[in-house]
Structure 1
């Protein structure tokens, strides 16, 4: 959400709003599809009176029974739809996404710490400091002791939305102020744009990353007391999220125009007055705390997956502990190298959004829906699914190439 005002900078008022609404609609649809795949039937979840995991009806035995046996995880969906090779492919993409997220959090930490301690001028130095601070946390065998920090993410999201909207209402247009502080006073007629086609690939990736998180859908679905209400919950959630996204993006872009940073909190802190300096500093520290907690939580499944590969070859607990620490240190070192050589929050988010998020959250759910339930789907449903598969593939390939070329050109 931090990068949404930057989306408007990249594609303008019309482009930014269209991309957010389009992606929100697609991600809503694919979340619904994942729920139905977990439920084992292409019909809406609320059509069933019983819990999928407690049903006494044998799958396929009658019209009221589910078509397939309900499943509980992302890899299971991939395995049932595309076999073992499909499971390996989707797991690899998920691990790539998790590793990329580590890099993104390091860059974000470096940016925010540099804002608080500007005496250290090079962002790469701040990334190294931020990463060094993360190491003791990342070396823990389990995030059990830090899992409560996941609530920080929710608090931080609410804080960002409120901070951006309230600052916009109180201070209004701050473009001239930030332009003067940077030594630039541009023509006022050109600091807000209606449409910029050149920035579309970057915007698609940033918004895609904002709506990432489909990998946790199975956990949410399985933990619900009444999975039948899943689709209603998803619809309500997406309405709220899309509304907050547009509100944050519009407010941030209105205030800062084409001078907005790729993380709106950086622009807020840079233009904070005497009355709001303390509040903006607290918000910045909240962003840092959020990055710390999310880094640890993202590290856990990635390192566990790699540890499970070598664990069968180890017999002693000490060897397992040493291997666990070594895996995390190597991951941290690799993520640090990527963050130093590609210290662009917007570029990293865009690449992840265009490649892994579109594969995991757009192409895969639609393709699995076709594969698992093709015989029971209507012509319209098949057309929509194929549009997502083909359209997602085109956007992922062309968008990734265009974004990388643009970054190299700069």
Structure 2
């Protein structure tokens, strides 16, 4: 978030609020799509099936799984960068004189740690660890305050608006609210799903406040020199730096298996393998972990990867698909003209961000090789 503000300038935070509002509204569209036929719709791909048949299901499933795969990669990149910051200069000698060191070494270690968790049949234990995210987010923000007060102080960067950096900022802002793929699962699991929109509103506001506070604090401390991960700016050896980095490391290790599980299940289904088969699950999940580790070791820049995920994949899942499915499902019943106009405007924003953000992030990734 601090990096996103450094790219787009202070005024880009207005767009952050707009993105949050848009994602909340498209979340309510998913809820309304779920209500169209609760017996037939239980997942996001089911909405695509209900609206557009098998083609809709395949399209939504494709973007879902690719997004999950890239987020899994970003988790390993996050681990590698921050562990390298925590333990600089670490290396390990392998056979035939090959040496692993720095970021690549820690990516491999992180992959080795999460690998056994992907073999589990029941991931419900790991799901509880998600609650730790509430604590880690608060502690990370507190660490930034500590860094500003004890070390560098707070400043007022003069970057008010940078049009060339807005595509990157918008892509990162969309990543903040890209939970739409699991909204149908949450909706179906609620005791009283009539309160879904209220839960979504409260969650969006709380997340927005947390993201916004982190963005302002990080940018006021480090200005335009802020790294794509603000923890990389924290001075080495300081207690608050170590606390912040450790907090940043916890969630990816626990949540990686939750991301890999749908990918593994989809591959099993694709090749008609027995669901939950031990050897098949172990082999497929191991291949997923190894492949993400290899890609993570070659990804040059965390911020550009996240911007690509937000611009291309998250925009499709959070903006384009909910709008298209809602219009298709409720077209026959009639939709108010004002709502059609609002949806059309939202889709135009989504298309703009998808095109400009994807082009910019891919260009930046290619340049850094």
Q: TM-score when scaled to structure 1?
A: 0.81
Q: Who is 1:143 aligned against?
A: 123
Give the equivalent residue in structure 2 for 1:334.
Answer: 291
Is 1:367–2:324 an aligned residue pair?
yes
Aligned mates of 2:362, 2:290 — CA distance in 1: 23
Matching residue within 94, 97, 102 for 2:67: 97
Q: Provide the residue aligned with 1:234 in structure 2.
A: 200
Superposed counterparts of 1:203-352, under 5 Å: 203-268=169-234, 270=235, 277-312=238-273, 320-352=277-309
Separation of aligned partners in 1, 2:208 and 2:34 = 25
Following TM superposition, by how much is the alpha carbon of 1:169 offset from its aligned partner in structure 2, in angstroms?
Answer: 5.4
Q: Distance in 1 between matches of 2:16 and 2:351?
A: 19
Contact map agreement 1:38 1:218 (CA 8 A) in 2: yes
**2:10 corresponds to which of 7, 10, 13:** 13
SS in 1 for 2:11: helix
CA contact (8 A) 1:78 1:368 kept: yes
C-alpha separation in 1, matches of 2:321 and 2:50: 12
Q: Distance in 1 between matches of 2:177 and 2:236?
A: 28
Distance 1:147 1:378 in 2: 40
Within the candidate set 33, 39, 45, 1:75 is matched to 45
What is the aligned length?
Answer: 357
SS in 2 for 1:376: coil
| Unmatched 5+ stretches in structure 1 | 41-51, 54-68, 176-188
Q: CA deviation at 1:227?
A: 1.8
| Runs of 5+ consecutive residues of structure 2 not aligned to the other structure | 91-100
What is the deviation of 1:234? 1.8
Looking at structure 1, the residues matched to 242 and 270 of structure 2 have their Cα atoms a distance apart, in angstroms, of 43
Aligned partner of 2:340 in structure 1 is 382
Runs of 4+ more than 4 Å apart? 169-172
Of 115, 134, 137, the residue aligned with 1:154 is 134
RMSD (CA atoms): 2.3
Whether 1:31 and 2:51 are equivalent positions in the alignment is no
Give secondary structure in 2 for the equivalent of 1:125. Answer: helix
Deviation at 1:364, TM superposition (A): 0.6
- Shift in CA distance, 36/126, structure 1 to aligned 2, threshold 3 Å: same
Contact 2:319–2:350 (Cα < 8 Å) also in 1: yes
Larger Rg: 1
- 241-250 or 115-124, larger mean C-alpha shift: 115-124
SS at match of 2:53: helix
Query: C-alpha displacement at 1:172, in angstroms?
Result: 6.2
- In 1, Cα distance between the equivalents of 2:149 and 2:28? 36
The equivalent residue for 2:356 is 398
Encode CA deviations 1:252-278: one digit per residue, 9 max, x unaligned.
10011112111122223x267xxxx33
